[in-house]
A and B are shown apart, each in its own frame.
Chain A
Amino acid sequence: MANMCPYGRFTHAVVRGIPETFGKAAAAGGGCENGEVSVDLAKAQRQFGCLTGALRQKVGLQLIEIPPDPELPESWRIEDVAVIQGDTALITRPFKQQRRSEAEAVRRVISELNLTVVEMGAEEGDSGGATLEGSDVLFTGREFFVGISSHTNRRGAEVLADTFRDFAVSTVPVCGGARLKNICSMGGPDTIIICSSDGAKKTLRMMEQLTDHHYEVLTVPEESAANCVYIKGPSNRDFLLHRPAEECPESVSAFQKLQDYTLLPTACSEASKLGASLSSLCLLVNRKHTYF
């Protein structure tokens, strides 16, 4: 489709700062997966700074930073709140009720970027019960895979499919309480990086079964390494933000296989303690959308 160009071209990144309440959400929300985790706020903020710095200075994206909101302890996981493809942004409905107000600021920014905003929550009747989080959505440039996980359900995927009608939207199972993007991510226009766990393999098999396209698969031994951020920067170079060697010692060598890439090791240890990863921290937008 018109919107269908090779994956990875972005001009803007939208991020949201780490609030002081970072890591408190679990406790507040009660009974969450990361209830007992202790995180280092300062470190998290430093890491966040590194990430944004890399995006802006190394990759060359325009960075839009939404100030943190202490009221919204998880608002830094901005990827969950919207799914952006081309000039359309779907504001999602996160699984946790208390996260749904995170969308407001994001919606504003997205509108300023002149993206068409599609609301998922607007039609309560239609999409009632639908939940969708961006970290369960893998867009490959050709199609969407939606991981049916603890946070995203089939109804949510349907809304997504309805929003991005040009693309095939396939649902794949995500095992073990993880998110789809915890186990895989795009490593290039036709490359999927995926970890070698059994659950991931199962998911990958399903993706391969469902797709009409052929993707290269880069398998990494550690789950933490599977989440990367690939961007074809304004300079037309391939950038890959990945976790540094300290966080995934066995997988770094795998990234070397990517030819002519500029590898940007970016730490994300604190956020990952909360089940997030690199891609969770940013929304990527391509404003230079050209029709051919």
Chain B
Amino acid sequence: MTTEAGSETEVKEKAEESAAQPDPSEKAAEETREVENTEGEEKEKEKEKQKEGKEGKGISRYLPTWLKKQKSQSQTSPTKEVPPSEEAVNEVTQEEKGPAPEVNGHSEEVEEKEAVKSEQVTEKEAESHSNASADTEPAKEEKVEESPEKSPEEAKVRAEGEGAEKPKEVEGEEEGGGEGQTSIFQSPLRLVRKTKMKLVVCHVTLLDGTDFTCEVEKRAKGQYLFFKVCEHLNLLEKDYFGLTYTDSHEQMCWLDPTKEIKRQIRSNNWQFAFNVKFYPPDPSLLTEDITRYLLCLQLREDVASGRLPCSFVTHALLGSYTLQAEFGDYEPDQPRPLDYISQRTFAPNQNKEMEEKILELHKSHRGMTPAQADAQFLENAKKLSMYGVDLHHAKDSEGVDIMLGVCANGLLVYKDRLRINRFAWPKILKISYKRNNFYIKIRPGETEQFESTVGFKLQNHRSAKRLWKVCVENHSFFRLNAPEPPTTKARFLTLGSKFRYSGRTQAQSRMASSLIDRPAPKFERTSSKRISRSLDGAPVISITEAGRDMAENGRELHSDSKSPMRVHGDSIYVRHSNLMLEDHDKTQEEVLKHQASISQLKRSFMEAPPPSPPQPNQWEKRLTSSPATTIRIQQHQVVSQPQTEAAAADNTISDTKEPSKTTEVEIEETVVVQEVSKAPKPGLVKVTISSPAEQETREQEVKVGQEVAVAVEATAAKQPSVSSESESEEEAEYHPNVSVSISHTQIPEEKEEEEEQQKKEEDKPVEQDTSVPDAPSLPAAVSQPVEATSREEEEPRKENAGAEMKKKEEEKEGERETEESTDDPMVTPEEAPNGLTLPEESVTAPAQEEPKMNGEASLVEAEARPQVICCSEPPVVKTEMVTISDTFAAQKTEIATKEVPIVHTETKTITYEAAQLDGNGDGEPGVLMTAQTITSESLCTTTTTHITKTLKGGLSETRIEKRIVITGDCDIDHDEALAQAIKEAKEQHPDMSVTRVVVHKETELAEEED
């Protein structure tokens, strides 16, 4: 499992630590060890999965029996698992260390085991150990979840479920190093530990009223249980949901996924409820019907209980959709009418009149499928003013009873039923609580000068904290692109909760779910136990069905897991990308889209850019916009942007609310990564894959996954230990706007903070960029020079990172942003042409096919990137090698003249050298093809282009040299001009790639760019 490399190393380290102090009595160390162990175990599990993959579902199936005999486990499992294979061994060696301490830690609990394990330790038993743990896990799962009869299917299910989450888990593991880190992805694999830990039976009340019972280790974290439940429900879009428990004060609390369950519930009552935590503002954007169904169940309960108030008509209407979804068409023949309706609760004060109305409306829904009925239900429910509003009792500053409602848009203040105030997230600068006071600091309005702070009194500090947490989470979920890293350094010195939302944001969730590509899982609709048609068997059935579905997926997954590249990434992406590969029906465009969106997501993951206010919309836009669009936009920007800026742009961009911008940057890097990976192993993916594009997608995803993981780790590192948070904390702060801020003025600060990071990121992409283009055409030869150049570039770039540059860039960017917004609409329509051009290219330049296939995005980016490089250091004369696999006729249009930032008079001399093109050149050797003058409206730029094509022997290589001189007095964006020139050149020779770009820039003005 080379893929695991990252996590493994982590594990190793930890394991070593723990190994160092194997003292069994050391309880203190126990915790940390546990974490480590779990990681190790998780890996083991993965291993196991892999095995399963290889062997079929075989092993796991048998495990249950072992489970029951815990003692023998460790011994038996080794024997059976001996075949594990080399990978296993490798891991084992690493894990070995981890497990050993673990044994000690758990010794009290299972002495016998301990003995066994110690033996293992001495030997090379690592394998056995790991295996043992891995095996036990499945067994338990089965035990808990399913009845023995189904064991075969269960096995499948399990395998699949695990498989599905596996990637995530991987991430989780990586993060796990930090214990308590926020990743949502932490693995359910904890199960492994069970053998050594005390197990506790958890009861989870599901939305349909059924109970789900599940055994978890006493020390399991919240997300373990949560994942188990989701697995049971066959739910992929989990981010909207959560588990609740009732605390000792009879208050309902959300189970923090990153913390141990035991520490949260603080009682022996392991009773939970599965609930919707974040109500999606537009449920129609959910990907799967099953998610909508669960949301419906929650809403039905909300409505029936009165939590979600609605009018008589609405009650009736919602009720009628419920009937339609659950019973299908109204059938007059059946004697059900009013009786069965009156058995059910549709509204808090349901009466005959309402029931009749429900029936009447039900009749009108004839022909509607359950899924449609659910959708209609949601369409209506989502418009209710209290939809998704989480109410908290409070008093205002004058002691008047009010309600505070937290929702997707912000904080609402109600007095009785009346809305008396509202604080949208963008207006809130800080959320904090102190003892039983809850404060929000409000951004000054246009006419006001000072920030104001509004305080509310809650019943006690617990409720204040709960409210605060809900706010933090809702803000993060709905407003941020990515969860905010818990704290800055400064925070370390402060007291209080460092709690932050740890899950995926809505944006991320949407992105992830847009990749869901499984056949719609079947499930039985029952709104509550009371309704009986399928009552007895319902849950079971659904499980089995799920199991089947999963089994299929699971198989696919296995293959993935073998591929080294995949393991690193977030599981969901990986998984789905894989599915995509097998889906031949997908058009390339679709694939590209996915790709682009993925990369976007990943980027946002990595950089945790500040949220942009209109985020949901933004996402929607992004999702719908084709890669082409984004790319184009990107080009503009990139062209005009100096490099450092580009990096900065990542942050700023998101701030600006401009979907396009964010996209641009994201795509760039991702693509780059992807191509790089490709270069070394050209043949790698093709196995199953028919189209190169798909292949790339996969790779890309994988890579991206890695990045993400890294980013996550970083976050984790920053995060203060979660354990520090406890109920005893009496205050905490949260600055939503730090990340949210859109204003340009804030950008500088952020930059400074993230400077390092940015640099790193930049460097990375750059290297890749240069190498990327080469990969397709001339992998070996070109790549080396490229690297060299990239290195050279890095330095200057860093210099550029200097404050001065930043300022300039910022300013520029500011301008650009504004400009862009106007440009956007224009750009979008052009998507189509771009897409069309692709095919042409591929035809003309066979050698480059692969890159092209990858998607427009990648191509474009490749271009853009290099350009950026060229322009980034204006005063410096640089030489770079840039290979561009290009092609596009439509690109010229992409350069929006509007975008031109104001550049003071400066003269740049830019020399492009295109070399080593693949042969389909149309020109005659040595012939001057064109002398071209580019005059764009606002630019007084003259570009002269000399094109020389040289035909090399049999290879029919064509070489084109273009010399472009751009001279201008003022108001010229040379970068852009350059970019445009390049593009035009490309347009003219779509089948060529730019292999060399030399930029010579002379700036005569002291204050060159502004």
Contacts and interface: CB of A to CB of B under 8 A. Distances in A.
Interface of A: 1-4, 86-88, 116, 143, 146, 154, 157-158, 161-171, 209-212, 291-292
Contact of B416 (A158, A164, A209): A158
Contact of A161 (B310, B313, B317, B416): B416
Interface in B574-628: none
Contact of B312 (A116, A157, A168, A291): A116
A5 to B, nearest CB: 10
Interface centre among B361, B376, B385 (most CB of A within 10 A): B385
A131 B587 CA distance: 63
The 3 closest A-B pairs by CB, nearest first: A168-B385, A161-B417, A165-B309
B380 interface: yes
B312 A209 contact: no
A210 B421 contact: yes
Interface in B346-388: 361, 364, 376, 379-380, 383-385
B418 A165 contact: no
Nearest to B313: A2
A131 B416 CA distance: 16
Interface in B271-330: 309-314, 317
B73 interface: no
A171 B312 contact: no
A1 B311 CA distance: 9
A3 B421 contact: no
A170 B361 contact: no
B126 to A, nearest CB: 57
Contacts, number: 77
Given A2-B317, A161-B417, A169-B419, 14 more contacts: A1-B314, A1-B384, A3-B311, A86-B311, A116-B313, A154-B415, A158-B417, A164-B311, A166-B383, A169-B417, A170-B420, A209-B422, A210-B422, A292-B379
Contact of A291 (B361, B383, B421): B361
A154 B400 CA distance: 14
A211 B314 CA distance: 22
A168 B376 CA distance: 21
A116 B311 CA distance: 11
Given A2-B317, A2-B380, A154-B418, A166 B311 contact: yes
26 contacts: A1-B310, A1-B314, A1-B380, A2-B313, A3-B311, A88-B311, A116-B313, A143-B385, A154-B418, A158-B418, A161-B418, A165-B309, A165-B310, A165-B311, A165-B314, A165-B417, A166-B314, A168-B385, A169-B417, A170-B418, A170-B419, A209-B422, A210-B419, A210-B422, A212-B409, A291-B364
A169 B310 CA distance: 13
A8 to B, nearest CB: 17
B324 to A, nearest CB: 12
Interface in B380-418: 380, 383-385, 409, 415-418
B368 to A, nearest CB: 12
A162 B348 CA distance: 14
Nearest to A169: B418
Given A158-B416, A166-B310, A1 B383 contact: yes
A4 B420 contact: no
Contact of A171 (B314, B384, B418): B418
A86 B313 contact: yes
Contacts of A167: 385
A165 B379 CA distance: 16
B312 A88 contact: yes
Contacts of A171: 418-420
Interface size class of B (residues with CB under 8 A): 20 to 34
Contacts of B383: 1, 4, 166
A143 B418 CA distance: 11
Contacts of B376: 292
A210 B414 CA distance: 11
Contacts of A209: 421-422
Contacts of A2: 313-314, 317, 380
A284 B311 CA distance: 20
Nearest to B415: A154
A157 B417 CA distance: 9
A166 B384 contact: yes
A142 to B, nearest CB: 8
Given A1-B311, A167-B385, A291 B317 contact: yes
A163 B312 CA distance: 9
Contacts of B421: 209-210
Contacts of B364: 291
Interface centre among B384, B416, B418 (most CB of A within 10 A): B418
A86 to B, nearest CB: 6
Interface centre among B311, B317, B416 (most CB of A within 10 A): B311
Contacts of A3: 311, 313-314
A154 B418 CA distance: 8
Given A88-B311, A212-B409, A168 B380 contact: no
B443 to A, nearest CB: 12
A139 to B, nearest CB: 13
Interface string B840-875: 000000000000000000000000000000000000
A86 B380 CA distance: 14
Nearest to B407: A212
Contacts of A116: 312-313
A207 to B, nearest CB: 10
Nearest to B353: A116
Contacts of B384: 1, 165-166
A25 B311 CA distance: 37
A27 B882 CA distance: 89
A55 B679 CA distance: 73
Contacts of A157: 418
A161 B380 CA distance: 18
Contacts of A212: 409, 422
Contacts of B314: 1-3, 165-166
Contacts of B361: 291
Contacts of B309: 165
Contacts of B379: 292
A116 B310 CA distance: 15
A157 to B, nearest CB: 5
A166 B316 CA distance: 13
A4 B380 CA distance: 8
A167 B419 CA distance: 10
Contacts of B418: 146, 154, 157-158, 161, 169-171
A32 B309 CA distance: 39
A211 B409 CA distance: 10
Contacts of B416: 158, 161
Contacts of A146: 418
A154 B310 CA distance: 20
A167 B417 CA distance: 10
Nearest to A212: B409
A292 B385 CA distance: 18
Nearest to B409: A212
Contacts of A169: 385, 417-419
A170 B419 CA distance: 5
A161 B422 CA distance: 17
A288 B640 CA distance: 56
A1 B381 CA distance: 6
B382 to A, nearest CB: 9
Contacts of A1: 310-311, 314, 380, 383-384
A1 B379 CA distance: 8
B814 to A, nearest CB: 24
A170 B317 CA distance: 25
A4 B317 CA distance: 13
Nearest to B309: A165
A292 B321 CA distance: 11
A187 B227 CA distance: 51
A264 B311 CA distance: 35
Contacts of A165: 309-311, 314, 384, 417
Given A1-B384, A291-B361, A168 B419 contact: yes
A292 B313 CA distance: 13
Contacts of B310: 1, 165-166
